[in-house]
Amino acid sequence: MRLELGRIYIKDIQFGPETKVSNGLLTVNREELAKLLKEDERIKEVKIDIARPGEKVRIIPVKDVIEPRIKVGSKAKGFPGVTAGMHRVGLGRTNVLYGAAVVTIGDIVGMQEGIVDMFGEGAKWTPFSKTYNLVVDITPAAGLEPHSHETAVRLAGLKASTYLAKCAENMEAEEVIVYEMDNMAENIRKYPDLPKVVYVEMLISQGLLHDGFIYGVNSKEILPTLIHPNEELDGAVISGNCVAACDKITTYQHQNNSVIQDLYSKHGKELNFLGVILTPELTTLEGKFRSCEMTANLAKMLGADGVIVSEEGYGNPDTDLLIICKKLEQEGVKTVLITDECSGQDGFSQPLADTTPEAKAVISAGNVSHLVKLDPADVILGNIAAVENISGGWHESVQEDGRVFCELNAIIGATSEIGFHNATTVLR
């Protein structure tokens, strides 16, 4: 399967009479986009703004971030099974407005949305301080129940990203990134001496707005599922959850999954990348045992010599992470875990809610409880009062001078467990 991502580099965004890309400038017809999104009767009002890297802008409460993309030469325009009919992705050409992002905000429903700062200390912690962001603020119709409210906001972001990318469908890309992999049998034949590696990606799947989606199917309704890595890179997996902002895997991060990209870079050289197992993180003990058992069995059936497991969220999903590790290690499969830590603001608390002696190789994406002080912003897009109600914030987080005190919990992508973030490890 061969996927080509044609990058069209975006170096600025502005509003204008026509949505188009020219010489790196993305011009957006704000009124046309707002009208499109308001076709959904659940949406009362749409406000659209722009946030550029370095501007003293704070965006809150962020629900999702999406990279604008369009399938070239295909009748299906949008995310499969969600904003477009069910269609296969992971092959052919997809054009990407590289450097641009759609950021959705709106009335808070759950407590686990987040902040994107485009400047100062906050910008250091979120990867989306470096993108040119079209910020879409959704006001829902009165009386919507929470799930309908959230669905409307998230669909609006996905629709907005497709709307933006349509103008670049027939443009010539400045750079083409190719992801190509033979079928599993052929790969094993071609690379008999390379260790066979499987990537297990855990998806928060716990209801109450805490769910990922695969081809439009809620992840809590699936059993562990093997997919081609190209499918995730091409929009088959999207965010639909409000897990803590720091390790929420946004749709943008699924589209650019760092683990998949790194494994691809070593495929056929240092290892044989077999594929991706998507695993739901469920709330019941029976559900956890079922998912973990089937995940380990799938990896064994594929003949994996090594498995990388990334978590989404923390707390009870730590148990899923460790059960998978234990089962694989006891079967002789080398296992590497990617997680973050909830170690308290002083860093001395137990980092995970569970443990097992088989967890010998663990990569930390950082401490979600680390305290940060954010400088005053000149412009607030959204509602700064939401800080007090999101994970990592508290009453009086916002100071009189406009500074914000919060934990990394509150910052979008700060401790991403697929490695798509700015944190690094310092050995002392």
pTM (two decimals): 0.95
Q: Can you spell out the DSSP letters for 370-415?
A: -EEEEPPPSEEEE-GGGGGGSTT--TT-B-TTS-EEEEGGGBTTTT
Count, in order, helices (H) and strands (E) of the chain.
9, 24
pLDDT tier for residue 352 given thresholds of 50, 70 and 90 = confident
pLDDT tier for residue 350 given thresholds of 50, 70 and 90 = confident
Q: What percent of the chain has pLDDT over 70?
A: 97
pLDDT tens, position by position, 379-412? 999 999 999 989 899 989 999 999 999 999 999 9
Q: Could you identify the residue written with the tokens 């944190």? A: 423
Averaged pLDDT score across all residues of the chain: 93
**Predicted confidence (pLDDT) at residue 112 exceeds the cutoff of 80:** no
* 259-274 average pLDDT score: 97
| pLDDT score at 331 | 93
| pLDDT score at 425 | 60
* 190-200 average pLDDT score: 97
Closest by alpha carbon to 248, among 392, 120, 412, 17? 412
pLDDT tier for residue 294 given thresholds of 50, 70 and 90 = very high
| pLDDT score at 209 | 64
| pLDDT score at 421 | 74
Residue 66, SS3 per DSSP: strand
| pLDDT score at 351 | 84
Q: Could you identify the residue written with the tokens 């979008």? A: 412
242, 246, 325, 406: the active-site residue:
242
Closest by alpha carbon to 387, among 407, 413, 366, 414? 407
Least confident of 8-22, 230-244, 253-267: 230-244
| pLDDT score at 243 | 78
| pLDDT score at 241 | 80
**Predicted confidence (pLDDT) at residue 427 exceeds the cutoff of 60:** no
**Predicted confidence (pLDDT) at residue 234 exceeds the cutoff of 80:** yes
pLDDT tier for residue 428 given thresholds of 50, 70 and 90 = low
Q: Which amino acid, residue 166? A: K
| pLDDT score at 93 | 97
Sheet holding 69-71, edge to edge: 69-71, 92-98, 2-9, 175-180
* 155-182 average pLDDT score: 96
| pLDDT score at 363 | 92
More confident residue, 352 or 37: 37
| pLDDT score at 297 | 97
242 belongs to the catalytic site: yes
| pLDDT score at 240 | 84
**Predicted confidence (pLDDT) at residue 252 exceeds the cutoff of 90:** yes
Least confident of 279-288, 340-349, 359-368: 340-349
Q: What percent of the chain has pLDDT over 90?
A: 83
What does the block give as tokens for 127?
Answer: 């990867």
| pLDDT score at 61 | 94
Least confident of 66-80, 331-345, 346-360: 346-360
For the chain, the domains span 2-410
More confident residue, 194 or 241: 194
Residue 136, SS3 per DSSP: strand
SS (H, E, C) 241-300: ECCCCCCCCCHHHHHCCHHHHHHHHHECCCEEEEEEEEEEECCCHHHHHHHHHHHHHHHH
